[in-house]
A and B are shown apart, each in its own frame.
Chain A
């Protein structure tokens, strides 16, 4: 890392980075509180987490200008852990998540992202948006009309205020106005203060109070693994979104390690695990944030605001937060994907829908992505398996036949390969020309064996010609038809 890169990452865009950082900090506060509530912990856990994630990632991350904080995706994963075992286990899980992410970064597992197709990513994003929206429903059920009125007014301000001026973040205006109204009218509605403790001091270093034994590990490991996967997934996804938006490159493996370091730091100051945020990063770029400074400012300002204005934060009505979160959910959802459902190939749409549906029903983004990845692999194998053509021509006055095989022979197309030959033809000699085919796996090799041996069984001589180098290596190692004892197989066992 040269001095020049450092300068470029930090100081090339100071004014806009600072302004964007301020905007992001203001937008982060309601989200951090809301996500803490989703996870079932005090708002201060999410606020501390957002501060430390943002500040640490500013230095350690691989994607300048990307915002990391406490996120909905991570909060959703940890709900049952908090419910069953409490906050201390969450902190321990956060530390372990960081360790796992660092390991992933060191072993360059960021490259695995290429197996996650665009449809899976779209499904993930949509599921995330739906889950964030659903998490707001408890605040909107069984409450008085005042809450609905407040939420509606909040949404109106968020979307309409930018038409008046774009200089002030409209979510902030919403919060200020709704808080003022609630205090002025002395409305009896829920406020942030009712949801749990807010930060009253700067965060301090602390160790999670959990027994250091195998039992603890057994409890937290599954959660940590899911958290690590979901966190990296969303971070890598956000990084490529920011890459696209700014037309620059990022260091994905450094980002993995950075996420890990940030989560470890977060765990030690009593924060919940976090990752990169799509919505906030888009807001940051939109507001002109490009460098690491924007992330640092966002985190630092967030903490200062919350610690020194804690009394006021406690009086924010939940309805205002709900409005902000509905905006986040609407902004996160990929609306074009609905229109594309009909235009895209059916397999892509199925993958997208499956990812979304599985995630929404299991509340587990990792499971949804796993299903999506498996499905897209399945569809891909199916498609490629169809690229296999066998043509034939008889030669030497019907004494010989040459089959020309072109395409991919592997587990998904092996049966078609075997079925493409006419074994009952009365003929002296068969040539199988595979110079335009590729044999990928041992299923393909055994299919070739099967075809050759079936021909021999009819007393036909078989010649396989034109194997490419990779296929020939496989044949040498695994095939039986070209070995001396191939005849043994004719009679079966």
Chain B
């Protein structure tokens, strides 16, 4: 077991955390990697709860204020820590029951993306829910953290939405671009999908070089021990991929993610975001 390359499951106290735990346990088992549950406790030091507008400062004002503010923070931190520990332990047991080997849990204060960016060097695969704790309150269908996290990291990220279904059929969205080509390399070398049925799908406007490209990719996957087959379907990629996944009963989608700038995404819309919204199956994003 390679201790340097863990599967990091990023969880919060939402119902989706269970699905994340299940998929993470599955991935850790396949990769023979240690699994770590990370719960990031958001603190908001930039917000305050000041009630004292007296404007007067007395003897030892600074020390008194420091004590008061630290006590507030400490009380909050203790409560959050205890709650976090309880649900992390529940997830740990769940993952252990699912058969994951070496499981660790960790709670950190801070911001999700900063924490992950700081932790990513020994992470092999990150698993997160596509929606989180605040999703119940808001109507967003893609968690507000997901795109930021994915953009901040350079590791493969498995995003999950629904209850766990052991993946058997994997759909790889292939556009012949650099990101996905490197992704094919990675998949071929990884035990994650070894022995699974992999469909390499090329969607979008037909290009001349497409059949050659896709055949090459398939050959590479086959050489890596995967059962790959190639498919070319013309049409709007988003629709084609979603339809294909539904009609063929695919269990997992692999694609390159957000290769363009956020600005372009804002103006033109982003293929990745659209797919993450419309597809109900877990998506492995390659950076």
B53 lies within 8 A of A19 (CB): yes
In the bound complex, CA of A158 to CA of B65 (Å) = 18
| In contact, A287 and B50 (Cβ under 8 angstroms) | yes
**Would you mind naming 9 contact pairs between A and B with Cβ atoms under 8 Å apart?**
A12-B44, A16-B48, A166-B52, A169-B56, A247-B73, A283-B56, A285-B48, A286-B50, A291-B46
A171 touches B63 (CB 8 A): no
A27 CB contact (under 8 Å) in B46, B50, B55, B65: B55
Q: Give the residues in chain A near B267, CB-CB below 8 Å.
A: none
Interface residues of A, count at CB 8 A = 50
Q: A8 near B46 (CB under 8 angstroms)?
A: yes
Q: How far is the CB of A286 from chain B (nearest CB, A)?
A: 5
Q: Considering residues B44, B53, B57, B62, which has the most beta carbons from chain A within 10 angstroms of its beta carbon?
A: B53
Interface status of B86 (Cβ within 8 A of chain A)? no
Q: Cβ of B44 and Cβ of A287 under 8 Å apart? A: no
Query: Once bound together, how far apart are the Cα atoms of A20 and B53, in whole Å?
Result: 7
Given A20-B53, A23-B53, A166-B52, CB of A247 within 8 Å of CB of B60: no
Report yes or no: B63 in contact with A336, Cβ–Cβ below 8 A.
yes
With the chains together, A22 CA to B60 CA distance in Å?
Answer: 23
Interface residue SS majority, chain B: loop
A170 & B46 in contact (Cβ 8 Å cutoff): no
Q: Mark B61-85, 1 if CB is under 8 A from A, else 0.
A: 1110110011001000000000000
Contact A158–B48 (Cβ < 8 Å): no
Using A286-B61, A287-B50 as known contacts, list a sample of 16 further A-B pairs with CB atoms less than 8 Å apart, ordered by residue number in A: A13-B48, A19-B53, A27-B55, A159-B58, A166-B54, A169-B55, A245-B66, A247-B73, A248-B45, A286-B50, A286-B52, A288-B51, A290-B45, A331-B56, A331-B62, A333-B59
Per the bound structure, the CA–CA distance linking A244 and B45 in Å amounts to: 11
The reply on B47 being an interface residue by CB < 8 A is yes
B49 interface residue (CB < 8 Å to A): yes
Please provide the chain B residues from 14 to 67 with a CB less than 8 Å away from any CB of chain A in the complex: 44-63, 65-66
Q: Which of A263-289 contact B (CB under 8 A)?
A: 278-279, 282-283, 285-289
Min distance, Cβ A162 to any Cβ of chain B, angstroms:
4
Is A64 in contact with chain B by the CB < 8 A criterion?
yes
Q: How far is the CB of B102 from chain A (nearest CB, A)?
A: 34
Contact flag A290-B48 (CB < 8 Å), given A285-B65, A331-B59, A335-B59: yes
Tell me the smallest distance from the CB of B145 to a CB of chain A, in Å: 12
Name A415-458 residues within 8 Å CB distance of B. none
Chain B residues closer than 8 Å to A246, beta-carbon distance: 45-46, 69
Q: Which residues of A contact B66 (CB under 8 A)?
A: 244-245
- Determine the chain A residues whose CB is within 8 A of the CB of B45 once the complex forms: 246-248, 290
Bound-state Cα–Cα, A201 to B92, Å: 67
Q: Is A204 positioned at the interface, with any CB of B under 8 Å from its CB? A: no
- A170 — which chain B residues lie within 8 A by C-beta? 54-56
In the complex the two chains form, is B61's CB within 8 Å of A23's CB?
no
Please tell me if the beta carbons of B65 and A331 are within 8 angstroms of each other in the complex.
no
Given A13-B48, A16-B48, A247-B45, do A327 and B53 touch, yes or no (CB 8 Å)? no
**What is the CB-to-nearest-CB distance from B177 to chain A, in angstroms, rounded to a whole number?**
27
The docked-state distance in angstroms from the alpha carbon of A23 to that of B48 is 15
A390 within 8 A of B: no
**In contact, A282 and B46 (Cβ under 8 angstroms):** no
Residue A464 is within 8 A (CB to CB) of chain B in the complex: no
Contact B56 A162 (CB under 8 A): yes
Q: Is A131 an interface residue (CB 8 A)?
A: no
| Measured CA separation A279–B60 after assembly (Å) | 11
* Contact, CB under 8 Å: A166 / B65: no
| Minimal beta-carbon separation of B57 from chain A (angstroms) | 3
Q: Per-residue 0/1 for A214-246: is the Cβ within 8 Å of any B Cβ (1 yes, 0 no)?
A: 000000000000000000000000000100111
A330 vs B59: C-alpha distance in the bound complex, in angstroms?
A: 6
CA of A413 to CA of B56, assembled, Å = 50
A158 to B50, CA, bound (A): 19
Whole-angstrom distance from the CB of A116 to the nearest CB of chain B? 17
Chain A residues within an 8 Å CB radius of B47:
12-13, 16, 290
CA A332 – CA B47 in complex, angstroms? 25
Q: Which residues of A contact B46 (CB under 8 A)?
A: 8-9, 12-13, 64, 246, 248, 290-291
Contact A287–B53 (Cβ < 8 Å): yes
Whether a CB of chain B sits under 8 angstroms from the CB of A148 is no
- Chain A residues 54 to 72 lying within 8 A of chain B, measured CB to CB, are 64
Q: How far is the CB of B237 from chain A (nearest CB, A)?
A: 29
Given the contacts A12-B44, A245-B69, A336-B63, A283 and B49 also touching, CB distance less than 8 Å: no
Judging by beta carbons under 8 Å apart, are B55 and A23 in contact?
yes
* Contact yes or no, B53 A336, CB < 8 A: no
Tell whether, in the assembled complex, residue A331 and residue B50 are in contact, meaning their CB atoms are under 8 Å apart.
Answer: no
- Rounded to whole angstroms, the CA-CA distance of A166 and B50 in the bound complex is 11
Q: Which residues of A in the span 91-145 have a Cβ within 8 Å of any Cβ on B? A: none
Q: Given A64-B46, A245-B66, A246-B45, A282 and B54 touching (CB < 8 A)?
A: no
Hey, which chain A residues are within 8 Å of B51, CB to CB? 166, 288
Structural contact, A282 and B61, CB atoms closer than 8 A = yes
CB-defined contacts of A166 to chain B, threshold 8 Å? 51-54
Contact A282 B59 (CB under 8 A): no
* Chain A residues with CB below 8 A from B61, complex form: 279, 282, 286, 331
Q: What 9 pairs across the A-B complex have the smallest Cβ distances?
A: A288-B50, A169-B55, A331-B57, A162-B54, A288-B48, A166-B54, A248-B45, A331-B61, A170-B56
Q: How far is the CA of A263 from the CA of B233 in the complex (A)?
A: 65
What residues of A have a CB within 8 angstroms of the CB of B49 in the complex? 16, 288
Select the residue from A24, A26, A241, A288 with max chain B CB neighbours within 10 A: A288
